[in-house]
Amino acid sequence: MRPQYNRRAMRATAALCAAPLAAGAYGAVASASTPHRAGDRTAPPTPTAHAASVAEPADPADGAGATHAARVTDAAGIAHTASLAHAASVVYTAAAMPRPRARRAHRRAQRLHLAARMLHRDLLVGHDVAFVGALHPAAGRDLVDVQERVGRRWVDVAATRTTAHGHFIARYWPHALGALRMRLRVAARAGHAATVLEPAVTVFHQALVSWYGPGGVTACGEALGAGTLGVANLTLPCGTPVTLRYEGRTITVPVIDRGPYVAGREFDLTYATKEALGAGDLTVVWASS
C-alpha cells in the first residue's frame, strides 16, 4: 500500500506561512509605491518573517499586476520542500492581488494640483490682470489657459506655459468695464485636468464726479433724501449698478437720476454717496460703468 500524504498537515503548514508572506507582500507594495530620497534617515520597510522570508527581484517597470516568482527559505538558508514552496508561492500570489488598488493610488498621486493667485482685483482699463501660480507635479511646458465667463460658458482669452519647475505667470488685458469672472485651467495630462476659480476682477476707468444736495424726487422716481445712495448719469438706465472707488474705498450704488449737465463731468453723486467715498466737491474717481 502506497503511503498517503497528510493533506490536513500540508494545509496547516501553508496557513502558518500565509501571515508572514502576506505581511511581506504588503510591505513590498508599500515600499514600491513610496519613494525614499537619498540621505533619508527613515529606511524603507523590510518584510520580515519568523520562519520564512520572501526574495523577489525588483522590476522598475512593474505596476500592472505582473506575476512574481517567490523563493522561500528558512532561517538557515535551506530551501523548503517543493510542496511547501509551491503552497507558499500560492499564498504569496494571493497576498499580492491588491495591486490594482496600488495602481489607483498611484494615479491619484499623479493628479494635477493647480495653485494660483490674482495679483490685483481692481484695475484701470488698459492694464492687465496678472496671475502667478504653480502646477504639481511639474512636467514643464504645460499649457495654462486664462478663461473668462461669457454668458453660460467659459471662453479662452489668454494662455501661458509653465517652467520646468511648474511655475507660471499669466496676463490678460480686458477691454470691457465692470466685473469679470475669471478662472485658470490646465489642459488634461494623463486623463487629468486642474481648474482654479478666481474672484471677480473689476475693471474701472477714471471719471470726474461732482455731487448735489438732497431734496425733491429724482428722474427715476425716487425721493432724494440725505441718506439716499446713488448717482446721476445722462445715459445709463435707471437702476444700473455703478461701482466707485476712491482712495481705497469702494461702493456700489444704482443710477437714480439724470445729470450732470456740466461738460466733462460723468456722474453726480448724492450727498450720502459722496460722504461714503470721502470725495470732495469735484473729484476724479474710478468708475466701473
The 10s digit of each residue's pLDDT in 2-60 is 444 455 554 454 444 444 434 444 444 344 444 444 445 444 444 444 444 434 444 44
pLDDT of residue 97: 45
Integer CA distances (angstroms), 248 to 179, 203, 241, 244, in order = 17, 15, 19, 10
Secondary structure (H, E, C), the chain:
CCCCCCHHHHHHHHHHHHHHHHHHHHHHHHHHHCCCCCCCCCCCCCCCCCCCEEECCCCCCCCCCCCCCCEEECCCCCECCHHHHHHHHHHHHHHCCCHHHHHHHHHHHCCCEEEEEECCCEEEECECEEEEEEEECCCCCCEEEEEEEECCEEEEEEEEECCCCCEEEEEECCCCCEEEEEEEEEEEECCEEEEEEEEEEEEEEEEEEEEECCCCECCCCCECCCCCCCEECCCCCCCCEEEEEECCEEEEEEEEECCCCCCCCCEEEEHHHHHHHCCCCCEEEEECC
C-alpha cell at 219: 428722474
Indicate whether 86 pLDDT > 90: no
| CATH number for the domain running over 113-202 | 2.60.40.10
**202/71 Cα distance (integer angstroms):** 68
From residue 271, alpha-carbon distances to 181, 191, 287 in Å are 32, 57, 17
Q: Distance of alpha carbon 97 from its chain centroid, rounded? A: 33
**Mean pLDDT for the chain?**
75
101 has a pLDDT exceeding 70: no
Task: Using the Cα atoms of residue 181, residue 186, residue 191 and residue 197 in order, give the sign of their dihedral.
Answer: negative
Residues 6+ apart with CB under 8 A from 111: 192, 194
Query: What distance in Å separates the CA atoms of residue 186 and residue 195, rounded to the nearest whole number?
Result: 7
Q: Domain spanning 213-287: which superfamily?
A: RlpA-like domain (2.40.40.10)
**Among 82, 85, 68, CA closest to 29:** 68
- What are the boundaries of each domain within the chain? 7-109, 113-202, 213-287
Q: How large a percentage of the chain has pLDDT more than 70?
A: 62
- Comparing 8 with 76, which gets the higher pLDDT? 8
| pTM exceeding 0.75 | no
**Which of the four pLDDT bands, split at 50, 70 and 90, describes residue 102?**
low
- Structure confidence at residue 194 (pLDDT): 86
Give the pLDDT confidence score for residue 1 in this predicted structure. 46
The string of pLDDT tens digits covering residues 139-168 is 888 999 999 999 999 999 999 999 999 999
Query: Is pLDDT at 201 greater than 80 in this prediction?
Result: yes
Do 113-202 and 213-287 fold alike per CATH? no
Residue with cell 493610488: 105
pLDDT of residue 99: 55
Angle value at C-alpha 113, between 111 and 114, nearest 5 degrees:
145
- Residue 111's pLDDT is 81
Between residues 263 and 89, which one has the greater pLDDT?
A: 263
Q: Out of 31-45, 79-93, 242-256, which region has the weakest mean confidence (pLDDT)? A: 79-93
pLDDT of residue 219 exceeding 60: yes
Q: What's residue 89's pLDDT?
A: 36
